[in-house]
């Protein structure tokens, strides 16, 4: 560039000198001194200037070409450099994005290859370190979860055998009630009541632990709804009779079979009946009904007890939500029964609900899919 400017300067100086000598020649001509030589000089100077101009134009063009070529070469180089830089960053980054996605969706084995630029390599190493730590923590958590589940299952099993004996022998004593004194019979009843409560606690805790671990499983088979109701009612008959409550069933004839795990739905029905029994006073009436409701079979438990205040009804299926505190003093529940019932019914693809009016009673219902639907 500097050379180009120098050439330009030289050209301008040379042109100026040429004009000066032409002017000198014209003056000589005007003065009439040697007109032939003067004319020849003028022509020579013009020719010289023309040649100078054509030289400088060529040089200008060359310089422009040179500058243009330089610019293009520079840009191309920069582009190449950038694309190299970008591609050397893109692959590791893409890999990181992919691995993060897999990690987030639960694949704790997701790792990236560490390499390339030092920055992406550091990022990759940090990612792998994080994934290692996550995997370690998750493994530890799984191990603790398994230990907890194992403990709950073992404890529940170990407690069940002695409870079976206590409850069984107490019931055996009650079979010969007429041979016991009133005080003895009352004592045995206390034992039976409390054993039953312990059993419920145990069952609820076990179900809760399973539900939390996502291991509450069902084995649905086509089941006769009327038989389910009858089974649950038979289980509750003794307790409702002891409280002089009326327990009646009213199941529509020819109900279609429901697709349920009979033990689990029986558990739900017994839970609803137990609640009705415990929250209702003596001589209350409890009615179990079964009917077809669209493509579902609805089984409802209706009582004429004290009813549930709207504020409590709203949260009745949540854990540890229980009826009126005044009542809970003599009610043996765990506050888990309805929450577990809800989980179980929903696991079947069914629904559970409740309606209540204070002073008039409550109705709890479950709707279950039929085997045909």
Partner 1 sequence: MAKLLVADDSETILLLLRTRLELEGYEVETAADGQEVMDAIHAGAGGASPDLLLLDAMMPRKSGIEALRELRAEGVETPALIVSAHQDAGDAELDVSGYVTKPIDFERLFAQIAELTTR
Which residues in this chain contact partner 1 in the complex, by CB under 8 A?
A: 153, 156-157, 160-161, 163-165, 167-169, 171-172, 175, 195, 199, 206, 217, 219, 231, 234-235, 237-238, 263-264
> HEC profile for 8-74?
HHHHHHHHHHHHHHHHHHHHHHHHCCCHHHHHHHHHHHHHHHHHHHHHHHHHHHHHHHHHHHHHHHH
Q: Minimum CB separation from partner 1 for residue 237, in Å?
A: 8
Q: Minimum CB separation from partner 1 for residue 310, in Å?
A: 35
Nearer to partner 1, 112 or 270 (CB): 270
Q: Minimum CB separation from partner 1 for residue 165, in Å?
A: 5
Smallest Cα–Cα separation from 298: which of 246, 352, 342, 219?
A: 352
Q: Minimum CB separation from partner 1 for residue 160, in Å?
A: 4
Nearer to partner 1, 231 or 324 (CB): 231
Nearer to partner 1, 223 or 363 (CB): 223
Nearer to partner 1, 18 or 334 (CB): 334
Smallest Cα–Cα separation from 201: which of 333, 330, 345?
A: 333
Q: Minimum CB separation from partner 1 for residue 227, in Å?
A: 10
Q: What does the block give as tokens for 328? A: 């809970």
- Residue 251, SS3? strand
Q: Minimum CB separation from partner 1 for residue 196, in Å?
A: 9
Smallest Cα–Cα separation from 366: which of 266, 220, 218, 233?
A: 266
Cβ(268)–Cβ(341) under 8 Å?
Answer: yes
Nearer to partner 1, 173 or 289 (CB): 173
Q: Minimum CB separation from partner 1 for residue 156, in Å?
A: 6
Q: What's the chain's Rg over C-alpha atoms?
A: 49
Nearer to partner 1, 123 or 247 (CB): 247
Nearer to partner 1, 108 or 198 (CB): 198
In degrees, rounded to 5, the angle at the alpha carbon of residue 181 between the alpha carbons of residues 175 and 187 is: 75
Dihedral of the alpha carbons of 318, 320, 326, 332, in degrees to the nearest 10: 120
Query: Measured in whole angstroms, how far is the alpha carbon of residue 145 from the centre of its chain?
Result: 20
Q: Minimum CB separation from partner 1 for residue 176, in Å?
A: 10
Q: Mind giving me the DSSP string for 256-295? A: PPEEE-HHHHHHHHHHHHHHHHHHS-TT-EEEEEEEEETT
Nearer to partner 1, 164 or 248 (CB): 164
Dist. CA 237–CA 231, nearest whole Å = 10
Cβ(358)–Cβ(345) under 8 Å?
Answer: no
């Amino acid at each position: 560039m500097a050379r180009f400017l120098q050439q330009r300067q030289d050209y301008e100086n040379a042109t100026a000198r040429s004009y000066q000598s032409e002017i000198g020649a014209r003056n000589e001509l005007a003065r009439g001194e040697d007109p032939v030589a003067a004319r020849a000089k003028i022509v020579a100077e013009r020719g010289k200037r023309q040649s100078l101009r054509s030289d400088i134009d060529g040089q200008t063009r060359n310089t422009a070409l040179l500058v243009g070529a330089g610019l293009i070469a520079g840009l191309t180089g920069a582009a190449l450099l950038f694309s190299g830089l970008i591609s050397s960053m893109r692959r590791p980054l893409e890999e990181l994005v992919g691995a993060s996605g897999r990690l987030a969706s639960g694949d704790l084995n997701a790792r990236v290859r560490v390499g390339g630029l030092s920055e992406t390599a550091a990022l990759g190493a940090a990612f792998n370190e994080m994934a290692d730590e996550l995997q370690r923590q998750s493994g530890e958590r799984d191990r603790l979860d398994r230990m907890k589940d194992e403990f709950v299952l073992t404890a529940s099993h170990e407690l069940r055998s002695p409870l079976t004996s206590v409850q069984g022998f107490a019931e055996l004593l009650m079979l010969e009630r007429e041979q016991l004194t009133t005080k003895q019979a009352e004592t045995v009843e206390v034992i039976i009541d409390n054993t039953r409560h312990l059993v419920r606690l145990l069952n609820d805790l076990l179900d809760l632990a399973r539900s939390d671990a996502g291991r509450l499983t069902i084995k649905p088979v086509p089941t006769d709804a009327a038989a389910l109701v009858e089974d649950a009612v038979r289980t509750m008959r003794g307790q409702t009779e002891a409280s002089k409550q009326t327990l009646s069933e009213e199941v529509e004839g020819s109900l279609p079979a429901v697709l349920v795990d009979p033990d689990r739905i029986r558990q739900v029905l017994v839970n609803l009946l137990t609640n009705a029994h415990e929250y209702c006073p003596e001589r209350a009436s409890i009615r179990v009904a079964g009917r077809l409701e669209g493509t579902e079979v609805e089984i409802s438990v209706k009582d004429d007890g004290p009813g549930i205040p709207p504020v409590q009804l709203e949260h009745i299926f949540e854990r540890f939500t229980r009826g009126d505190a005044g009542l809970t003093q003599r009610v043996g529940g765990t506050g888990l029964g309805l929450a577990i019932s809800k989980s179980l019914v929903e696991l079947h693809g069914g629904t559970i609900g409740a309606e209540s009016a204070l002073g008039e009673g409550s109705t709890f219902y479950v709707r279950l899919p039929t085997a045909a639907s």
